[in-house]
Amino acid sequence: MEINSYIYKFIRTYVPEEDILLNEPMHKHTTFRVGGEAMCFLRIGGAGQLKKLIPYFKKVEIPYFILGNGSNLLVGDKGYRGVVLQIGNKMGALRAEGERIRAGAGATLAAAAKYAWEKGLSGLEFASGIPGTIGGGVVMNAGAYGGEMKQVASLVTVMDGQGEILELDRACMEFGYRTSVIKDRPFVVLEVALDLKPGEQEEIRGKMDELAGKRREKQPLEFPSAGSTFKRPEGYFAGKLIMEAGMGGYRVGGAQVSEKHCGFVVNTGDATAADIACVIKDVKERVKEKFKVTLETEVIFLGDF
């Protein structure tokens, strides 16, 4: 896959050469640790670059994808014929304003939770073990152990497809279970204001340690995965349905339904994206056949499989 020289020249006007990676292996950028090459991979350093690039990509009809930490993403083995815009630590600044933390979209949820602890602010402990970014977390309304982003995200700064910057308050965000108003709109998260409460550092740290212990006990953290593979069906638990359907430990190639937690599909070491996609498909079919329940994935599929 090669990018058009005119398009590359335009990109080079706004992105330093060291932040432009051509034919970049995506297994380096997803928590599944699989995926073929992206035609062009850009490490984004600020909103100014996005303001120039996104309208241009739309104009010349080049597909693009906004990437955070790649923690809910499955990229096909044949790669992605488009541009990946990574919003990572270059846009990951954190700053406290009293009981509010302003977090750049590229900050990891773990880094934001640690920063909140350092500032004696409580409310973000649930996010300390979620392997995504603030931007991805707010788009998906990430949550764990009774906490969700909608509880703390009070103001979200986004850029639309024309490069205009908007501020969305909590009501505008339309948070739902693993969704928000951003999920199906061409918005890119730039910054999130997190409203927290004062707390004792020792208690905050204790809560984070307690949740980390629960994760180690119940989740297959020893293998690459995208976390919970399936959304929780209304009235059910995905992991329990999968187990009762007899799919615990089910394997295709190097991909497997975790025996420790059936809600996780893991890469045991040599999985391909096709292996993982096959396990997901087979699990959905078996659960549908046995329980008449349609499982939806939290995982996003990108590229050619």
Residue 258 annotated among the catalytic residues of the structure = no
What is the per-residue pLDDT for 1?
73
Question: Which residues have CB under 8 Å from 232's CB, separation 6+?
Answer: 177, 238
The residue among 77, 63, 58, 138 whose CA lies nearest residue 105 is: 138
What is the per-residue pLDDT for 67?
97
- pTM (2 decimals)? 0.94
Residue 71 annotated among the catalytic residues of the structure = no
Four-CA torsion 174, 44, 224, 236, nearest 10 degrees: 10
Distance CA 241, CA 253 (A): 23
Residue type at 13 in one-letter notation:
T
Q: Report the residue count for the chain.
A: 305
The residue among 255, 226, 219, 259 whose CA lies nearest residue 242 is: 259
Distance CA 153, CA 137 (A): 10
Q: Phi first, then psi: what are they for 98, rounded to 5°?
A: 65, -120
The residue among 75, 31, 30, 85 whose CA lies nearest residue 53 is: 85
Beta-carbon neighbour count of residue 102 at 10 Å? 16
Residue 228 annotated among the catalytic residues of the structure = yes
The residue among 166, 167, 132 whose CA lies nearest residue 149 is: 132
| Each residue's pLDDT tens digit, 136-161 | 999 999 999 999 999 999 999 999 98
Q: Which residue stretches of the chain have pLDDT < 70?
A: none
What is the per-residue pLDDT for 238?
96
Question: Which residues have CB under 8 Å from 128's CB, separation 6+?
Answer: 109, 110, 113, 114, 208, 211, 212
Residue type at 32 in one-letter notation:
F
Question: Which residues have CB under 8 Å from 48's CB, separation 6+?
Answer: 14
Strands 300-302, 73-75: pairing kind: parallel
- Marked catalytic residue, from 122, 180, 225, 228: 228
Beta-carbon neighbour count of residue 16 at 10 Å? 11
The residue among 7, 39, 8 whose CA lies nearest residue 25 is: 39
| Each residue's pLDDT tens digit, 191-222 | 999 999 999 999 999 999 999 999 999 999 99
- Marked catalytic residue, from 178, 180, 191, 225: 178
Decide: residue 165, CB within 10 A, 0-12 exposed, 13-18 middle, 19+ buried: middle
Distance CA 138, CA 172 (A): 13
